[in-house]
Structure 1
Amino acid sequence: MFSIYVSILNKNNKIIVITLFIIALILRLIALGSSSLIFKGSNVNRDFEYGVIARSIIKGKGYSVPINEFNKQSLTEKNGKQKIHSDSFISDGNTQMADFIKFKQTGQYRPSANQLPFYPLFLSIFFYFSTNPFSYWIIKFLQAIISSLTCIVIYLIALKIFNKKAAIVAGFISAFYPVFVLYSIKIVPESIFTFWFSLSVLYLFIFKENPSFKNSVISGCLIGITLLNSNVIVPAMPFIFLWIFLIQVKRNDKFKRTLFIFLIAILFVSPWIARNYLVFGSFPLMKSTAGLNLWIGNNPKATGTFFLQTGESMDSILPNSFYEGLKNYEMDKDKELYKIAISYIKNNPIPTLKIFFKKFIYFLWFPPDNIISKDVKQLKKILKFPYGIFLLSCIIGFIFSLKKYFTDTILLFFIILSITGLYSIFFVGHLRFRMPIEPYLIIFSSYTISAISDRIAFRHFKRK
């Protein structure tokens, strides 16, 4: 991994990169040290369904989750005001929701494809030795390092596409970016996923400059690893491989190299797909939550987020049969919800189209206060104004970079568009779900800031 950085840096860039990494890491360690204050009132070590699966693995139960008997009426917080999200359908008694959800542990387990394997397997490595608070601290510390490395990757992508000044701006925006800092110290997969995805994009640009066999293999490997982190990049894959095909100069190499990278990526993902086919009888299957997620975003009371207009969770209007189905086989109930959602979409095309565009805006901006969580509402108050300026500079940067850097810019544009489009079809969730596209928003923003800086410097020089 570090050879990637070293091979494309000269001496001056190495100094910048080291400085960038140190600043980014210090900021994340400060946040880690004070996390109990930052996330006051919440369980800082809550590991959601990722931790549940990880503990099942180390118990020798395989990639599975406990079978619990839920009381739907009890799925509320202690104060009874707000329902929880469907993450809590999966619990083993070691997560925060166990304090207030009434469910009966049966002691039995069922296979699951609720989450992609990379992050639960990552957690299981540490949980194998211990599940005490120190293990969680080590996980967060490593995530802080990985998030700091992501800042370097963003710097290098901007350096490949634009110029050194824009790269420096992009790197330091990434280092200080609040969402990157905050979620690097929570037990969620986005920091690691964002790292692998941005590294894949960086290597696509390296491959463009030098389409060697080695770079083809590395590009395919990185894409494959990224897919094992999250399937939200699946809609971006056609655009990525079309881009790889079109950038080839030699006609004979176009199909061959594109297919080779694709096959390498599939090689990484195939064991997971094969496992799911053998267990669930569905092919291809990356995750088993497509139906639930589609239904949350497409039903008569859908708002575009987890929440109803009243502030309650969408879970509160799920059919009782869904909860009963979780005792046995998660795929059946997911398929049932998928059919219900598709039927609603077909019968209500205009409302579906309207809410699609709402979700598109919500994903790139912020949803209304009544349909977001308290944590996101607090962050929205802090970030709304600076993020608005940031987003505007991103749009300007994209427009002005199209003419001069069309080939590279269009790849980043379709990555942003495809992931935003995916969430617009399903639903807009946590603020962290936007993290995978934010490196490229930052890069476009940095181009605007760099251009403005150059314009000011030029005018100052002319006056002299």
Structure 2
Amino acid sequence: MRRLRTYAPIITIFCLALLVRLVYNVTVARGYFPAYDARYYDTIAKNLLGEHCFCLVGHTPTTDRAPLWSFIIAIIYAVTGPINFYARLFFCLIDAGTCVIVYLLARDIFNQRIGLIAGILAALYAGLFIYTGWLYTETLYTFCLMAFAYTLYLLQRTGLLRWAVYSGLSLALASLTRPNGFFALGMVCVWGIIVIRAKIIPWRTVVRAILIIALITAGLLAPWTIRNYRVAHIFIPVATGSGVVLAGVYNDTALTDPELLGMWVPGNRIRPPIPRSAHPSYMGENENRGYALHWIDTHLSSMPYLLSLHFINTWKPYTSEEGLPFREFPDRTSSKIAWNLIQYMPIVIIALATLGLATTWKKRLDLLVIYLILLLTIGVNIAFYGSMRFRAPIEPLLVILTAGAIWWLTGTLRTLRQDKSNNTKQHDGTNISTVSAGNNEKVTKP
């Protein structure tokens, strides 16, 4: 019976989340064809199977993409054939797992009832399930990051080093999914300093845990880093592309074009154009990065405005993301429903999450990992560029903070009811005493 009580909520949330995602994929995303970045992952996966090469074109190895998602697609295609629905089905399963982690975190931080609310919200929240309908890395990266958050929380709560092993594994997988996942190693160091100062667990345990996480992450990334060096003859921990991103973000078009304010700009629309050398370095990384740094240096007065645009874009319900199924098939009734959900649900979740952030201060140490991941993700988005897609990794954390707001509201209402009940009892007691005293006076009056 106790085991049933433990696993029933987990099974219920997983099944609900899976059902929602399956419905989305067989209605909105029916007939989906990978385009844009999704096409790159799909092509690399097919080349892994057909050419035995991590390549985009022919037999030319690439370092342009992080490897994990393409390898997973290749494994799925090896079993099912090159049918992208099964890759999206994999996304449905792991995103349902993300909802379960949301439940577990909220349950451990607040209570069982709030955990259930958080899990159900995550299962139904469009800001999570829309990414299961295309072959970008958002769903996989979010799952890995949430696994990292939960294991780091359990490490902080129990002091058991086995959770450091799981944290290192999940952080390595996140980094192999998206290169900026590696930035979380710096966040772990900040977490360790705070935990030591707060005397939550012994400092020796914290130091050992940080070393375990760092060694596991670096150890699992090392083979791919070595492979990249053999291909490009330069040090590339996971993937190239930062130069392309920086050049696309820091230019006159991103600063002045009304359609692209604070967003990434394709190379053919960058103004002024990027000068190219006669013999460009591998993938043009140096030219792109140099262009961005020069633009920043010559536009310092515009940087506060541009960075504020990155911050604002991070919190918009929808920014232009081509390739999402509800934009690819806009005439479907299911797509119109999804479009309306993504227009309004994030506004409610972000507003309640902000309230939760402001009102859960007594749980601040339990929420420490959530705070740090929020700050890291927002900081990366400000430095590069903000969009609804880059908010995806922290959508589950916003749901947990929304549940925190509900926890605070229900607690406040309970306190008010108790105070009102106590005041009523005191008032009634006073009246009874007064009447009794009056009656006694009448009885004893000569």
Q: Is the 8 A contact 2:264 2:385 kept in 1?
A: no
TM-score normalised per structure 2: 0.80
Q: In the alignment, does 2:6 pair up with 1:13?
A: yes
Q: Is the 8 A contact 2:253 2:265 kept in 1?
A: no
Q: Is the 8 A contact 1:398 1:409 kept in 2?
A: no
Distance in 1, Cα, partners of 2:256 & 2:3: 47
Equivalent AA in structure 2 for residue 114 of structure 1: D
Corresponding residue of 1:52: 43
Corresponding residue of 1:264: 216
Distance in 1, Cα, partners of 2:71 & 2:127: 24
Q: 1:411 aligns with which of 351, 369, 377?
A: 369
Displacement of 1:366: 4.5
Alpha-carbon spacing, 1:462–1:308, altered in 2? closer, same or farther (3 Å): closer
Alpha-carbon spacing, 1:183–1:323, altered in 2? closer, same or farther (3 Å): farther
Q: How does 1:100-139 map to 2 (within 5 A)?
A: 108-129=58-79, 131-132=81-82, 135-139=83-87
Q: Is the 8 A contact 2:95 2:143 kept in 1?
A: yes
Q: Is the 8 A contact 2:128 2:396 kept in 1?
A: no
Q: In the alignment, does 2:151 pair up with 1:203?
A: yes
Displacement of 1:140: 1.6
Corresponding residue of 2:240: 288
Higher helix share: 2
Displacement of 1:306: 12
Q: How does 1:328-407 map to 2 (within 5 A)?
A: 331-366=282-317, 382-402=341-361, 404-407=362-365
Aligned with 2:365: secondary structure? helix
Displacement of 1:184: 1.2
Q: In the alignment, does 2:71 pair up with 1:65?
A: no
Post-superposition CA distance 1:155-194 (Å, at most 9, x none):
1111222222321221111000113222112222211211
Post-superposition CA distance 1:207-266 (Å, at most 9, x none):
123333422222211221221111233333212233135435323333233212211111
Corresponding residue of 2:407: 450
Displacement of 1:458: 4.7
Corresponding residue of 1:274: 226
TM-score normalised per structure 1: 0.78
Aligned with 2:60: secondary structure? strand
Count the aligned residue pairs.
402
Corresponding residue of 2:389: 432
Aligned with 1:301: secondary structure? helix
**Percent identity of paired positions between Structure 1 and Structure 2:** 19
Alpha-carbon spacing, 1:230–1:381, altered in 2? closer, same or farther (3 Å): same
Q: Is the 8 A contact 2:176 2:221 kept in 1?
A: yes
Distance in 2, Cα, partners of 1:172 & 1:297: 37
Corresponding residue of 1:191: 139
Q: 1:317 aligns with which of 269, 283, 286?
A: 269
Alpha-carbon spacing, 1:424–1:331, altered in 2? closer, same or farther (3 Å): farther
Alpha-carbon spacing, 1:460–1:363, altered in 2? closer, same or farther (3 Å): same
Q: How does 1:24-39 map to 2 (within 5 A)?
A: 24-36=17-29
Distance in 2, Cα, partners of 1:308 & 1:261: 39
Post-superposition CA distance 1:332-382 (Å, at most 9, x none):
412211100000001111212211111111112247x7x665969887764
Q: Is the 8 A contact 2:192 2:207 kept in 1?
A: no
Post-superposition CA distance 1:273-297 (Å, at most 9, x none):
1211222222243221101101111
Q: Is the 8 A contact 1:190 1:436 kept in 2?
A: yes
Post-superposition CA distance 1:301-360 (Å, at most 9, x none):
115999646x996333259998999xx988341221110000000111121221111111
**Superposition CA RMSD, Å:** 3.2
Aligned with 2:254: secondary structure? coil
Displacement of 1:406: 2.0
Distance in 2, Cα, partners of 1:366 & 1:398: 19
Aligned with 1:65: secondary structure? strand
Q: Is the 8 A contact 1:25 1:144 kept in 2?
A: yes
Q: Is the 8 A contact 1:224 1:268 kept in 2?
A: yes
Alpha-carbon spacing, 1:330–1:445, altered in 2? closer, same or farther (3 Å): farther
Aligned with 1:128: secondary structure? helix
Alpha-carbon spacing, 1:288–1:175, altered in 2? closer, same or farther (3 Å): same
